[in-house]
C-alpha cells in the first residue's frame, strides 16, 4: 500500500495537518514519534491558544486535536521513524516496526528542548520547570524565577520574564554570556535581572512536595554548593530540531532546522515541513497549528497536480 500522505509528528503542527488532510479525503497516516503530542504534552496549562478563555491542559489540547483528525479519517500509529529514503517517489519511511511508502510527506517532527538531565528536572517538568517562558511565564507573575543558560534564548526568556516576575536570576556556567552583544546588554542593564556566574544547577527541589522551592547551585571554580530559593525554573539551553534522519537529503539551516520555500515546501518535491522542525523563532502552539494547515493545503495541491 502506498499512502497519499504520511505525517511525521503528532503535536499541533502534525495533528492540524492531519485534520486538513483528512477533510480533503487524503486518508493520512500519522506516525506519532517518540514524544506523542510533542512538547505541548509537557505543558500543564495553556492560556494563549485562541478559543480557550479558561485555558486548557497541553495534553488535553493535543488529544482533542488527535480525536478531531481521527473523526475525519486520519490514522495514528505510535511509531517512531528511524530511516527515510526521499531519493524518489514513492518515499520510503521505516520505523522500528514497519516500512511504509507515501506519495507525499509532511514532516512535523518538532524540536526537542535541551535539558540538564537531572532527576528533579524530569519529575518537575510542567510542574515548575519549564522550557518555554512565553508559554508559562504568566503563571509566575510577581514571583522569583531562575533562567538557566547564557545564550540568546536565555536572554530572551529573562527579558520576557522580567516584565512579569519580581526577580529573574540567570544562572550561567561561564563568567561571560554567549548571547549576542545587544541581547546581553539588554539583560545586564535590566534592574530586575541578576546573574550567578560560573555556576551550574545540580539539583531541583523539591519533587517530593511537587513544588519548586530552590535549586542547588555549584560554583564550577570553587566547587562550593548552595541552595538558591526560587519559585520556578526555566531551562533555556537551546532546542534541537528532530531532523537527523533527513541530513543529506533535505536542505537545513546551520542549526539543523529544515529550510522551506513557497509556503511549506522543502527542496524535495512532495515533501513539506510544518512547525518547530523549521521554525527557529516563534515555537508557539498557534504558529505550529497554522504551519500544519499550510503544509496540508500545499500537500493537497501537490497531489492534485500529480493526478492532472
N-to-C CA span, the chain: 21
Q: Which of 12, 60, 85, 132 is catalytic?
A: 132
- The DSSP output letter for 112 is E
Nearest to 90 by CA among 248, 211, 234, 268: 268
Q: How far apart are CA 101 and CA 91, in angstroms?
A: 5
| Contact between 264 and 298 (Cβ < 8 Å) | yes
The angle, 0 to 180 degrees and rounded to 10, between the axes of the packed helices 58-71 and 12-23 is 20
Taking the C-alpha atoms of residue 8 and residue 14, their distance in angstroms, rounded to an integer, is 7
How, if at all, do strands 81-85 and 91-95 pair? antiparallel
Q: Which helix (H) or strand (E) holds 95?
A: strand 91-95
Can you tell me the distance from the alpha carbon of 73 to that of 96, in angstroms, rounded to the nearest whole number? 24
Cell of 7: 505525517
59 grid coordinates: 495534553
Residue 132 annotated in active site: yes
The rounded distance, in Å, linking the Cα atoms of 142 and 137 is 10
Rg (CA), the chain: 21
167, three cell numbers: 526577580
Out of 12, 63, 85, 136, which one is annotated catalytic? Answer: 136
Check: CB of residue 196 under 8 Å from CB of residue 189.
Answer: no
Q: Which of 135, 157, 203, 276 is catalytic?
A: 135
Query: In the sheet that 129-130 helps form, which strands lie side by side, from edge to edge?
Result: 129-130, 232-235, 144-148, 167-171, 193-196
Question: Catalytic site residues?
Answer: 132, 135-136
Amino acid at each position: 500500500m502506498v499512502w497519499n500522505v504520511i505525517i511525521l509528528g503528532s503535536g499541533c503542527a502534525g495533528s492540524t495537518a492531519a485534520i486538513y488532510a483528512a477533510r480533503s479525503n487524503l486518508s493520512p497516516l500519522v506516525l506519532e514519534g517518540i514524544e506523542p503530542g510533542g512538547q505541548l504534552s509537557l505543558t500543564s496549562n495553556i492560556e494563549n491558544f485562541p478559543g480557550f478563555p479558561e485555558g486548557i491542559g497541553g495534553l488535553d489540547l493535543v488529544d482533542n486535536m488527535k480525536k478531531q483528525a481521527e473523526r475525519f479519517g486520519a490514522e495514528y500509529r505510535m511509531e517512531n521513524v528511524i530511516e527515510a529514503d526521499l531519493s524518489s517517489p514513492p518515499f520510503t519511511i521505516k520505523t522500528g516496526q514497519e516500512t511504509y511508502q507515501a506519495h507525499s510527506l509532511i514532516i512535523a517532527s518538532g524540536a526537542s528542548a535541551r535539558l540538564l538531565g537531572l532527576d528533579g528536572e524530569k519529575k518537575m517538568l510542567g510542574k515548575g520547570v519549564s522550557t518555554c517562558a512565553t508559554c508559562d511565564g504568566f503563571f509566575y507573575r510577581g514571583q522569583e524565577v531562575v533562567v538557566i543558560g547564557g545564550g540568546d534564548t536565555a536572554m530572551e526568556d529573562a527579558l520576557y520574564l522580567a516584565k512579569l516576575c519580581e526577580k529573574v536570576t540567570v544562572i550561567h556556567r561561564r563568567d561571560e554570556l554567549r548571547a549576542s552583544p545587544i541581547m546581553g546588554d539588554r539583560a545586564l542593564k535590566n534592574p530586575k535581572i541578576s546573574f550567578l556566574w560560573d555556576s551550574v544547577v545540580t539539583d531541583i527541589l523539591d519533587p517530593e512536595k511537587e513544588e519548586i522551592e530552590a535549586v542547588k547551585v555549584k560554583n564550577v571554580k570553587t566547587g562550593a554548593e548552595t541552595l538558591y530559593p526560587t519559585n520556578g525554573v526555566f531551562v533555556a539551553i537551546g532546542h534541537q530540531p528532530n531532523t537527523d534522519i533527513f541530513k543529506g537529503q533535505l536542505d537545513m539551516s546551520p542549526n539543523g532546522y529544515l529550510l522551506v520555500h513557497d509556503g511549506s515546501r522543502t527542496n524535495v518535491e512532495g515533501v513539506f515541513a510544518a512547525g518547530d522542525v523549521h521554525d527557529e523563532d516563534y515555537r508557539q502552539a498557534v504558529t505550529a497549528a497554522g504551519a500544519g494547515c499550510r503544509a496540508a493545503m500545499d500537500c493537497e495541491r501537490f497531489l492534485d497536480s500529480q493526478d492532472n
